[in-house]
Every structure is written in C-alpha cells, then in structure tokens.
Chain A
C-alpha cells in the first residue's frame, strides 16, 4: 500500500515525525470525542453512536497493529501489504451486514426501525435494502470468480459508485418506508431520526472505499531496496 508518506517522498526522520504528529492528533481527537460524550450525557442525551464507536475504534487500532506487526513494512516504505485493502473491504462488508440488525431510524424517538423488519413488512423495499446492506459481500464473492476478466475489472472500478448508491439508498429509506419527501444529502427530517445502524452502514460504505483506494494506490512495481549486505560475509 502506498501511504501519504510515500507520496510526499518523506525520508525516515520525516516519517517518524509524521507518525508522532498522527499520534498527537489521535490523542486530541480522543479528548474532543470524550468531551462530546460527557457534554451529551450532561444534557440528558444518550450519544449512542459516540459511545459505540469507542470500542470499534479500539478494536480497529488493535487489529491494525497486529496486521502491521506481521507485515514486512519498514519506515522507509519497504514491503507491499496488498492484503490490507482486502481486509478493510471484508471488515466493511461485515459491518454493513451487521447494520441490518441494528436500529436504522427511530420515529419520534420511540419506535425504532430495523432493516430486516422493514424488508419483511414491505417485500418491494427488500430489494433495495438487500442491495444497500449486502452488496459488498456479493461483490467480494463475484470478484473472486471474475478475477482477471474484463467484467471483474469493470466491477472493481464501479465499487466506489456502488458504495455511494448504497449510502443514498440507506439515507432514502425514510422516504421509501414512511413516504417522507426528503431531499438527497439533507439530514433525515424530523420526526424520523437516524440511529446507530444508519450511521454504521454509511461509515462501513466509506470504509469500503478506503479499502478500494488502498488497493488502487498500491504500487504495482516492487520497490528497489538498496542492498547493504552486498559483498558482506
């Protein structure tokens, strides 16, 4: 995977400084995140998304640590962990599928709507819902069978567009189910409020695109590592 440090042609000292800056930024974001949770709780609101994402981020952090610790990747950018993109995409697919069982929307803060319930209640809505939540699993399975073929390449190029379409469908669910007139890209209107499943699904789609981008930006040529052992013992 080509990192931003490779693109900026940083040397090892700059990479170290960049990583330290990343750590400082993460600490700052964590402090702000915690403050937001405390603020919401202090005002009698339950910031479910903010709270749920804390262990999700922690798991992601631990998972990435073990992934990178087992990958031959130096500060100089040696090694090409091509599996990274695939792992991110599989994680996104699992998160999106899990979102089916989480509350998508709540009406008047009382009645929650789950995707699986909505699909059972309205068979016509089951088709777009199935597409919106299960498309990564279908694409990952299809891409294995179509690997190397033209259709596989076309599918690969279309993946971010499908992710965008999935997010739009998820955001339009209130209009489909509750017949609300909602403009695209405008937050869900009252009294329908987005819930944890909706946020998680949209984030999972974004995560899938990150995995796709990392595959897309992966260098196709193996980097030339200077040999310092030439002529040695």
Chain B
C-alpha cells in the first residue's frame, strides 16, 4: 500500500501521512485508529509514547 492509498483511505492528504512518518506531526486519536485499522495493526504497534527526556537526548 502506498502513502497515497493510505491517505485516501483515511481521508487525509499524502503529505500528512509523510509528516506522521517523519515525526513532524502527531495525529489525533481518531486518525491513529483509522491508520491502524487500514494497516491491520494495533495503534500500540504503530505509535509509542516517548518521554520528553528521551527526545531531548
């Protein structure tokens, strides 16, 4: 599945999928669940919570 396909299925622009992949944009809970559903995965497998200290390091 391409970024374009995924974007179309969840109703966002391809650039938004790209921004999520690069970590430039944190999706809403709704969009996260929609992406997970389309990819047949769990949200936990796609996203993880990172402490700010870890990001700073």
A residues sitting closer than 8 Å to B (CB atoms) are 11-14, 16, 74-76, 226, 228
Contact = CB atoms under 8 A, between A and B. Distances in A.
Contacts, number: 31
B28 to A, nearest CB: 6
Contacts of A16: 25
The 7 closest A-B pairs by CB, nearest first: A11-B12, A13-B16, A228-B33, A13-B25, A11-B16, A11-B13, A12-B28
Which DSSP category, helix, strand, loop or mixed, fits chain B's interface? helix
Interface in B17-57: 19, 25, 27-28, 30-31, 33-34, 37
A172 B34 CA distance: 58
A12 B29 CA distance: 11
22 contacts: A11-B11, A11-B13, A11-B16, A12-B12, A12-B16, A12-B27, A12-B28, A13-B13, A13-B15, A13-B16, A13-B19, A13-B25, A13-B27, A14-B16, A16-B25, A74-B30, A75-B28, A76-B28, A226-B11, A226-B34, A228-B30, A228-B34
Contacts of B33: 228
A228 B37 contact: yes
Contact of A13 (B12, B30, B34, B37): B12
Contacts of B15: 13
Interface residues of B, number: 14
Contacts of A226: 11, 30, 34
Contacts of A76: 28, 30
Most buried by A among B11, B19, B27, B30: B30
A11 B28 CA distance: 11
Contacts of A74: 28, 30
Most buried by B among A12, A13, A228: A13
Given A12-B12, A12-B28, A226-B30, 8 more contacts: A12-B16, A13-B12, A13-B15, A13-B19, A74-B28, A75-B28, A76-B28, A228-B30
